[in-house]
Amino acid sequence: MQLLVASRNKHKLKELTALLKDLPLEAIPATDIRGLSEVVEDGATIRDNAIKKAVETARVAKKLTLADDTGLEVDALKGEPGVRSARFAGEDATYHENNKKLLQQLEGVAYDKRTARFRCVVAIADENGLCECVEGICNGTILEAERGGGGFGYDPLFIADGQTKTFAELSPEVKNRISHRAKAMQKAWAVLSRYLRERSAGGEDDAQPKPPQRERV
């Protein structure tokens, strides 16, 4: 069975594909499907955006679809950048520009007050708009300068609780064991496994039948 992964971010796609690899599903990136336009992320929350991406993409592609939306919530900035994480420093800001703005806003804030978390919501939707959401959170601290060349986004500034290296210094395997996305995908795994079980028990083998949960959006 195919699962469309509604992301055009190559870093995210790589992490999500690795996290899906043991499921009997063929993960297809949205970039492989012609005619799929990018979904506008204008929701008020991370959850809204994850649902919107999954539901709109599933309807157009007529495939079971998984989407992830992630934000970095910094306590000293009252939860900012949050849902605006991608465009913190402006509409087309680069990762480095966003990091620079974050460091500027945290100037003078003591290390023990630089607590933050990545929040990742994964939504799984079918072509009929049925959708289920799961969430993963990774708590940590924002450093005073970037460290490491791996990962993406805010990774060079983020040290997860219990770690001494930033996400950008950890190997992809370690990040994929402890990250917000890994935690959300563990829950998504349970949802997808149940869906696969239900589907084989029901003997349905239509291309893309109903997904697991039962929230119509």
First to last CA, the chain: 24
**Residue with the closest Cβ to ligand IMP?**
153
Pick between residue 156 and residue 199 the one whose CB is nearest to ligand IMP.
Answer: 156
Where b means 16+ CB within 10 Å and e means fewer, 5-27 reads bbbebeebbebbebbbeebebeb
- In the complex, what is the shortest distance from the CB of residue 154 to ligand IMP, in angstroms, rounded to a whole number? 4
Pick between residue 48 and residue 198 the one whose CB is nearest to ligand IMP.
Answer: 48
Active site residue 69: yes
**Distances from the Cα of 41 to the Cαs of 25, 44, 83, 141, 188, in angstroms?**
27, 9, 9, 26, 21
Can you give the binding site for ligand IMP, defined by CB under 6 A? 9, 41, 69-70, 85-86, 95, 98, 151-155, 167, 179, 181
Pick between residue 29 and residue 208 the one whose CB is nearest to ligand IMP.
Answer: 29
Q: Which of the residues 22, 32, 69, 112 is marked catalytic?
A: 69
- In the complex, what is the shortest distance from the CB of residue 205 to ligand IMP, in angstroms, rounded to a whole number? 33
- In the complex, what is the shortest distance from the CB of residue 62 to ligand IMP, in angstroms, rounded to a whole number? 24
Q: How many residues does the chain have?
A: 217
- In the complex, what is the shortest distance from the CB of residue 194 to ligand IMP, in angstroms, rounded to a whole number? 25
What are the catalytic residues? 69
